Copies of this chain bind each other. A is one copy, B any other.
Amino acid sequence: MTKPTIVDIANELGITPSTVSRALAGNANVKESTRKAVMDCARKMGYERNDLASDFRRGVAHTVGIIVPRINREFFSSIISAAESVFVEAGYTVVICQTHEKAEDERRALKTLASSRVAGILISHSAETIDGKDIRETLAGSNIKLVQFDRVFPSLPGSVVVNDDFNGAYAATRHLIANGYKRIGALVGYLDTDSFRNRFEGYKAALTDAGMQYDASIVYKETIVPETGYSCASMAIDAGCDALYSSGDFSALGALECARDRGLDIPGDFGIVGTANEKFGAMIAPSLSSVDQHSAEIGSNAAKEMLRLLSGKSEGGSITVGTSLVVRRSSSRNSK
């Protein structure tokens, strides 16, 4: 009672495996009646293609690997979710690997996927990964297609999908300015990451364009967690700020708590805009304005670009996904 193969179907119908294979594959050169007979017989016998054999024969799996630092982060799981939908639609299965932000795990994941002969890899690099050396080596002479997203090394082959971080931060800052805030600090994150640097630039440009003074003393280059949000907000308030742009929502939350502890009214006395549009932002009081990164869009764009690379319709390139400012209470002085 072992699984039927195309040979079994062929024997059953008195034809050859090649014809069965062609019929099953939807090849044009098969008589309609033959195709029908094959299909019927396959169904009747409970035939299921052995993808292992098929992939092996073709030399490449109909599989795409996705490598992310952590699966259980809203940003990444949304990206994976959107990408999965696109890939399934196109007949690809999706293998996921997480690196836990470790370069070593990233190396291992790359090796595994290369051994599995995946058709392509979508990757957002671990925090520890400092260059594209490993990935370049692993992919060399393998024609596995590559799409990087969010954290990318532009020098690598393939395509790249990133957020328009500059304009996100720009819009957030302009919004604060439009709401009458006069001295706007910024918690911008570590600047060795492109996206953080771009946000920083967007913040600066917005100030400049509005004719406001850029003041390096109220820019905080710390990691974006609640604790730093709290401490940086504290410094900002001491420095006379009446608003803070934060490169993350968790740090924005910390800032919010600090302002509250200081007895400041939000948004009356102090305005805050975060980044990432985490779910909790809509649920806290006061609700948090935030730059939404359109993570699902990043995922579907990355997946579609991968399909284009695989079909030869793209040679590689760069895609920028827009952000949008979600205005909530924490920065809405005007509509007060």
Main secondary structure, interface of A, reads mixed
A49 at the interface (CB under 8 A from B): yes
A164 at the interface (CB under 8 A from B): no
Q: How far is the CB of A68 from chain B (nearest CB, A)?
A: 10
Q: How far is the CB of A3 from chain B (nearest CB, A)?
A: 7
Check B48–A56 contact: CB distance below 8 A: no
User: Which of A109-117, A186-194, A200-208, A321-329 contacts its partner?
Assistant: A109-117
With A53-B56, A84-B71, A115-B50 in contact, is A141–B253 under 8 Å at CB?
no
Partner of A93, one of B78, B85, B95: B95
CA distance A1 to B140 in the complex (A): 10
With A84-B71, A280-B279 in contact, is A117–B51 under 8 Å at CB?
yes
Q: How far is the CB of A137 from chain B (nearest CB, A)?
A: 9
With A71-B77, A93-B97 in contact, is A285–B283 under 8 Å at CB?
no
With A141-B3, A285-B284 in contact, is A111–B72 under 8 Å at CB?
no
Check B50–A52 contact: CB distance below 8 A: no
Partner of A51, one of B49, B74, B84, B116: B116
Partner of A280, one of B85, B111, B284: B284
Task: In the A-B complex, list the 8 residue pairs whose CB atoms are closest, starting with the nearest.
Answer: A280-B280, A77-B77, A71-B81, A72-B81, A56-B56, A72-B77, A52-B56, A72-B78
Residues of A within 8 A of B (CB): 1-3, 48-53, 55-56, 59-61, 63, 70-74, 77-78, 80-81, 84-85, 88, 93-98, 100, 108, 111-117, 141-142, 253, 278-280, 283-285
14 contacts between A and B (CB under 8 A): A3-B142, A49-B115, A51-B115, A52-B52, A52-B59, A52-B116, A53-B56, A55-B56, A84-B96, A93-B112, A94-B95, A94-B97, A95-B95, A280-B284
